């Protein structure tokens, strides 16, 4: 039996099944090899094809790797090699990435960037007010690569879409944050420029009526907006909602993160009423705008490996403390502590004077920085905590340059430019000094992050988060949209939901209890009306 081009196979089957002369009806299936790209990092992209592989856990990125679940269950993935038998081309459905910008020169993204006469570099920068949306953070480039890293080009990774039109809307700055005014303007701009899908891998706890209006405007123009559920391990249906996930617009698809055995990731938000689908979000490899050296301290809760004590007793130690992160959740963090029994209620010893240092390789980097975050409290003016650096190594032998000296209450996060320490022997030192008078809490650092960046157009990075789950669904939405350009946004969302895969770990955690799946979503094609079946000899 052969159908006309405008006839639907499923309605034809139902009609034939009703005929008593017909014994059996089924589609004439096509059998093919799975479509596998030649991109060298494809074997690391478990979200597209999970063989139970171990994802490259480079030591400098350990705090970006989810090591809490070591089990890896093969075939827990989006089955994209089967979907690619049908199509790999999303270019008929432009995708706007509203984020930190995109490295539009990256070898795996350049050919898939959207552009126009007004926006030759692929988009617009709403942070700096120009038409150069270059990524100075990395997050946006990573998201873009999951959606549409060029497929089968023998380089780097591959996206859900091998061919795409990715619009860069830079609304977040180098620190990864941005104003609602920039996000709203970016949504309106992307909608007016023809985006069919908008990726919003960002969130806030505040309801914003103007942002809701911008998303509703996108809905009125037939645009799907795929958003991140959030990374607080919280129930979005509870007292603390997460936006844009919790806006009640039917063009929003909110995505939770799954790990490599298709369990809900330990950090992922969830919500039976507010979160729609799950998608791979843990240990995701994708494009990155720069070579990066990244050292996150401390690496141990019992010692400070690699750090050298130069003077003083009692000295700096490593430990762990448990903190509330809201919604009844807690987190236990390793910390660099100024003395052994530090906590928020103990006092440091009198007459302390102790220093430690460690050497980090920042040689050849274009930029370098140090970020610290934690609790700092000393007697004002008399007791001090200081951070210094020495470009030549051991500060006792070569001297050091002071970055900052703290006195009093200085809790929070601080970032320092290490342009004078871009060497292979960059040594950073910590000193704590107290007198015999009043003593206070001291120093407890839960972040000590050293980073070096060198511009590079062919590198990758590993990340985790609902921000990484979201572009998997954005790419699939674009693939469905492009596969059937007559679809409305509701048709595409219906295909995403009905074509998703049942995942027990998402039951009661998402509205569908399911995870995005490539070939199943593509199989939910639009059903024509008033068709007839014609028998041919």
Residues 6+ away with beta carbon under 8 Å from 92: 481, 482, 485
Residues 6+ away with beta carbon under 8 Å from 91: 112, 161, 163, 164, 165, 482
99 is catalytic: yes
Q: Nearest CA to 402 among 416, 414, 392, 412?
A: 416
Contact 144, 98 (CB under 8 A): no
Sign of CA dihedral 180, 185, 191, 197: negative
524 is catalytic: no
139 is catalytic: yes
Residues 6+ away with beta carbon under 8 Å from 7: 528, 531, 532, 533, 534
d(CA 135, CA 286): 14
Which of 79, 108, 136, 139 is catalytic? The answer is 139
Side-chain-side CA neighbours of residue 192 (13 Å): 10
d(CA 162, CA 145): 10
What are the DSSP calls for 423-448, one per residue? STTEEEEEEEE--SS----EEEEEEE
| H-helix or E-strand spanning residue 514 | strand 514-515
Q: Nearest CA to 315 among 337, 289, 299, 294?
A: 337
Which of 300, 303, 350, 405 is catalytic? The answer is 300
Paired residues of 500 in beta bridges:
none
Which of 99, 135, 136, 383 is catalytic? The answer is 99
Q: Nearest CA to 78 among 489, 488, 477, 490?
A: 477
Q: What amino acid positions are annotated as catalytic residues?
A: 99, 139, 300
């Amino acid at each position: 039996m052969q159908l006309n081009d405008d006839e639907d196979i499923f309605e034809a089957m139902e009609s034939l099944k009703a005929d008593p002369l017909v014994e059996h009806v089924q589609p004439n299936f096509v059998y093919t090899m799975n479509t596998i790209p030649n991109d060298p990092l494809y074997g690391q992209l478990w979200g597209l094809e999970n063989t139970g592989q171990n994802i490259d856990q480079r030591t400098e990125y350990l705090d970006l790797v989810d090591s809490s679940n070591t089990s890896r269950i093969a075939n827990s993935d989006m089955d994209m090699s089967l979907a690619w038998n049908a199509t790999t081309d999303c270019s008929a459905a432009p995708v706007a990435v509203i984020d930190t910008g995109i490295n539009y020169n990256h070898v795996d993204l350049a050919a898939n960037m959207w552009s126009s006469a007004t926006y030759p570099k692929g988009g617009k920068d709403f942070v700096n007010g120009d038409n150069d949306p270059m990524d100075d953070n990395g997050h946006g480039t990573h998201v873009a690569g999951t959606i549409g890293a060029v497929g089968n080009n023998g380089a780097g990774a591959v996206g859900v879409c091998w061919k795409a039109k990715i619009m860069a809307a830079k609304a977040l700055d180098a620190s990864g944050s941005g104003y609602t005014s920039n996000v709203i303007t970016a949504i309106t701009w992307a909608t007016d420029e023809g985006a069919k899908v908008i990726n919003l891998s960002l969130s806030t706890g505040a309801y914003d009526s103007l942002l809701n209006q911008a998303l509703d405007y996108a809905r009125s123009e037939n645009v799907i907006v795929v958003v991140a559920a959030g990374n607080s391990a919280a129930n979005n249906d509870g007292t603390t909602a997460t936006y844009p996930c919790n806006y009640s617009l039917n063009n929003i698809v909110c995505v939770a993160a799954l790990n490599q055995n298709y369990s809900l990731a330990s950090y992922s938000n969830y919500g039976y009423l507010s979160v729609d689908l799950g998608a791979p979000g843990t240990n995701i490899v994708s494009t990155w705008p720069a070579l990066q050296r990244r050292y996150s301290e401390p690496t141990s809760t019992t010692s400070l490996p690699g750090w050298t004590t130069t003077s003083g007793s009692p000295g700096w130690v490593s430990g762990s403390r448990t903190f509330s992160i809201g919604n009844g959740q807690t987190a236990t963090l390793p910390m660099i502590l100024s003395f052994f029994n530090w906590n928020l209620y103990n006092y440091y010893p009198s007459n302390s004077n102790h220093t430690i240092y460690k050497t980090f390789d920042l040689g050849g980097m274009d930029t370098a920085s140090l970020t610290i975050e934690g609790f700092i409290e000393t007697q004002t003016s008399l007791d001090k905590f200081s951070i210094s650096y020495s470009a030549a190594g051991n500060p006792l032998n070569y001297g050091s340059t002071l970055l900052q000296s703290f006195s009093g209450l200085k809790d929070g996060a601080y970032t320092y430019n290490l342009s004078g320490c871009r060497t292979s022997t960059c040594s950073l030192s910590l000193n704590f000094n107290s007198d015999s008078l009043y003593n206070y809490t001291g120093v407890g650092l839960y972040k000590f992050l050293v980073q070096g960046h060198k511009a590079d157009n062919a590198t990758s990075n590993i990340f985790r988060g609902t921000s990484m789950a979201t572009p998997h669904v954005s790419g699939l939405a674009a693939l469905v949209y492009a596969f059937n350009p007559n679809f409305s946004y509701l048709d595409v969302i219906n295909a995403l939901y009905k074509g998703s895969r049942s995942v027990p770990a998402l039951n009661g955690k998402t509205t569908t209890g399911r995870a995005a799946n490539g070939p199943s979503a593509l199989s939910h094609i639009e059903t024509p009306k008033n068709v007839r079946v014609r028998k041919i000899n």
